[in-house]
Chains A and B, each alone.
Chain A
Amino acid sequence: MKKLLLASTALAFSAGMALADEVKMGVLLGFTGPIESITPHMADGAEMAWNEINESGAFLGGQTITSVRADSTCVDSSAAQAAAERMISSDGIVAIMGADCSGVTMAVLQNVAMSAGVPMISPSATSPAFTTTESNGLFFRTSPSDARQGAILAGIVMERGFSEVALTYTNNDYGAGFANAFEESFLGLGGSITSKVAHEEARGDYSAEVGQLASAGGDALVILGYVDGGGSMVRTAWELGAFENFFMGDGMYGDELIANVGEALEGTIGTIPWAAGEGADLFHALAEAAGVQGQSSYTRESYDAAALLALAAQAAGEATPEGIAANILNVANAPGEEILPGDLARGLQILADGGEVNYMGATNVELVGPGEAAGSYREYVVEGGEFVTVQFH
């Protein structure tokens, strides 16, 4: 009996030791729901950064990062909060890479992360609301706010000679914020919006929404939504002959859209946060070598978010939520040695030696305080069933 007790105590100790070498970080993305087609690639992107760090052996004196995945569902706030709470209380994560859609991200931030004091870096929550939300320095994002995307998209629509457009958006924080930003910029450029209609995801029939937009008229339809509902809107509008020209935002980007909507999309123009340059090229080479679909949307932002969390922990010298939150801005911005994808080991070493880094990553990361990031956009057009780059903004 005594032996058994002794053995189990020893076992418990060794298990405790093993745990100390392991830092857990959460990946909270909508693995089910309207953006389920892109989230696995995003998670792969984030875990790619952590694998790179684990292989370097330079993270906090040889500790490793373990990824804990959870489902944000993109649309169900209570499910996302429950998932975040579980990650924090039972898995013991120190930071969250996520969430994805703006509505659930806001819910997780305000109801879970802020009370637990756990920092979050979202790769894809682009609602303008985050810029002004007070998060106690816990919320960061690697994709720029839709306030800028709205302005850029409005400029593109105007430039193509469409001054009277109808506007539809997915009925949530992302859609509404984006639509307001677009409307403001478009009116400012002298355009007019004939009708602005919200649509729900996962409906069977969109002919009533399209009917309303058609009744108001306009030269083109601007859709700020997701592949699911937004795609159905495009298909219905085209089939009913309501509109011939479409413009869309980043949430619609995805190969599934082309598969679902088909020829109606031909000639459609859109925007998506995208980075070009050395960092992006390095990332794509790394992704290809790791078997990750690096060209999918928000994989770059996910990689950067994950890398930032690890670098911030290294800068703090400890993997605690407070330490990470306090150091994210330091490692993301100048001054310091510029760090690109594949270069994380060097960054960790510099930080361990007491130096400073300026993480550039795959998307030329520059964080404008908590809640806001600078970034560039890619303008694309659908031609022959492919997304073709027009230019970068």
Chain B
Amino acid sequence: MEPLNALVSLANFMLIPAFAYGSQLALGALGITLIYSILRFAHFAHGDTMALGTAAVIGGTFFLQARGISIDPLPTAILALPFGIVVMAGYLLAADRLVYRYYRKVKAKPMIFVMASLGVMFVTNGITRLFMGVGETRFEDGQRFIFTVRDFREATGLAEGLALRNAQALTIVTALIVMVVLFWFLNRTRSGKSMRAYSDNEDLALLSGINPERVVMITWVITAILLVLAGTLYGLDKGFRPFNYFQLLLPMFAAAILGGLGSPIGAIVGAYVVAFAEMGITYAWRRVFTYLMPEGLEPESMMQLLPVDYKFAVTFAILVIVLLFRPTGIFKGKVL
């Protein structure tokens, strides 16, 4: 029985990656939930706008690197974030002006909004590929590890090692800060309160003098910030590849719906549930149990519920189960 080794092994292969992945999903799902509660449609272009925003950050990063500007040990991409956010905010506001505003004016049905966002998704996807290509772009620089497996083993003398990458720690810390700031903004500031009012009851909000176009604009700007942060952190952690961002759409929506659409806290909880379910169900638990079980009782099989290939199936199953049995999600959000 070596519970410490079991815990370290679990943390190294599952808990840390899942926590980082969950934080990235949470930032994305928050954007989806915000757009859904204010603009009242499912934003299908979310994954691809995330890719475009990240592409802008990468462009900025390469520009800074070429000038020899860096903030070692942190990645240069952090410095390029404001540039990416400005580009993304401009892009989303332009998309709103060119596409969504018209449908808002004619009071189109939510489904038409969804289809319009699908169109925006394809266009955005094309633009990203035009600039970045379809291959992998790595833009992580600075110090790569906070501590490596070998450092950890030497320091603790345990058989199992634990690695913590810079990008993972950065992701978790940034996500926590952003969440706190977002809740403070929604609950304490005038703009945040007007957003919540508009989301709760559009007519009453209009009567009380809230400018709807301003609320919409603020929503897109906040979404841009969340998108660029989520995309950049994901890219730093796992490398940038446009198609992977499109694939993030499913887990992000699953997270937002599981938590309850329109509920920010729900999006965060949902994101972590999805991330840990994806990793936990496809994780081979044999090593962990070999440490935990008394000698002679070690498991023979891999102790794996589903093969790794079925990661997306797990998310899909979560989505279907939630929609069937609790369409409002954990935190009683709106029904899609």
Residues of A within 8 A of B303 (CB): 215
Is the CB–CB distance between A204 and B239 below 8 Å?
Answer: yes
Beta-carbon contact of A241 and B150 below 8 Å: yes
Contacts of B288 in A (CB 8 A): 215
B284→A241 contact, CB < 8 A: no
- Chain-A contact segment, one of B12-20, B37-45, B218-226, B257-265: B12-20
Evaluate contact between B286 and A205: CB separation under 8 angstroms.
no
* B residues near A241, Cβ cutoff 8 Å: 12, 148-150, 153, 161, 163
Residue from B14, B163, B244, B279 within 8 A of A239 (CB atoms): B163
Contact with A along B1-45 (1 / 0, CB 8 A): 000000001001110010001000000000000000000000000
Q: Is the CB of B244 within 8 A of A240?
A: no
Contact A240 B136 (CB under 8 A): no
Q: Contact at A195–B302, with CB atoms within 8 Å?
A: yes
1/0 contact string of B136-157 vs chain A (CB within 8 Å):
1010000001001110010000
Interface size class of A (residues with CB under 8 A): 20 to 34
Q: Check A239/B165 contact, CB under 8 A, given A204-B239, A212-B284, A216-B284.
A: yes
Q: Which residue of B lies closest to A195 (CB)?
A: B302
**Residues of chain B lying within 8 A (CB to CB) of residue A288:** none
Given A197-B308, A211-B13, A216-B302, A203 contacting B244 (CB threshold 8 A): yes
Whether the Cβ atoms of B282 and A208 lie closer than 8 Å is yes
Bitwise interface map of B from 234 to 277 toward A, beta carbon under 8 Å scored 1, else 0: 10011101011000000000000000000000000000000000
Residues of A within 8 Å of B302, CB to CB, are: 195, 212, 215-216
Residues of B in contact with A, size category: 35 or more
CA distance A301 to B20 in the complex (A): 45
The A-contacting residues of B in range 277-302, CB under 8 angstroms, are 279, 282-288, 302
**In the bound complex, what is the Cα–Cα distance between A170 and B136 (angstroms)?**
17
Total A-B pairs, Cβ < 8 A = 80
Q: Report the Cα distance A239→B151, complex, angstroms.
A: 12
In Å, the complex CA distance between A203 and B237 comes to 13
Given contacts A198-B309, A204-B239, contact A215 B163 (CB under 8 A): no
Contacts A214-B287, A216-B284, A240-B149: A204 and B234 contacting too (C-beta < 8 A)?
yes
Residue B196 lies at the interface, judged by CB distance under 8 Å to chain A? no
Would A207 and B239 be within 8 Å (CB), given that A228-B136, A240-B12 are in contact? no
> In the complex, are the beta carbons of A205 and B238 less than 8 A apart?
yes
B140: shortest Cβ distance to chain A, in Å?
12
Q: Which residues of A contact B234 (CB under 8 A)?
A: 204
User: From B165, which residue of chain A is reached at the shortest CB distance?
Assistant: A239
Complex: how many Å from CA A240 to CA B308? 17
Instruction: Tell me whether B287 and A217 are in contact (CB under 8 A).
Output: yes
Can you spell out 7 A-B residue pairs with CB atoms less than 8 angstroms apart? Answer: A197-B308, A211-B13, A214-B9, A215-B284, A216-B284, A241-B150, A241-B163
Binding site for A on B (CB under 8 A): 9, 12-14, 17, 21, 134-136, 138, 145, 148-150, 153, 161, 163, 165, 234, 237-239, 241, 243-244, 279, 282-288, 302-304, 308-309, 311
For the A-B complex with A208-B308, A212-B284 known, give 7 more contacts whose Cβ atoms are closer than 8 Å.
A204-B239, A208-B282, A211-B14, A239-B149, A239-B165, A240-B12, A260-B138
Going nearest first, the 9 A-B pairs with the smallest beta carbon separation are: A241-B149, A215-B284, A204-B238, A211-B13, A241-B161, A215-B287, A204-B244, A212-B284, A207-B17
Instruction: Give A residues with C-beta under 8 Å from B.
Output: 32, 36, 171, 195, 197-198, 200, 202-205, 207-212, 214-217, 228, 232, 239-242, 260
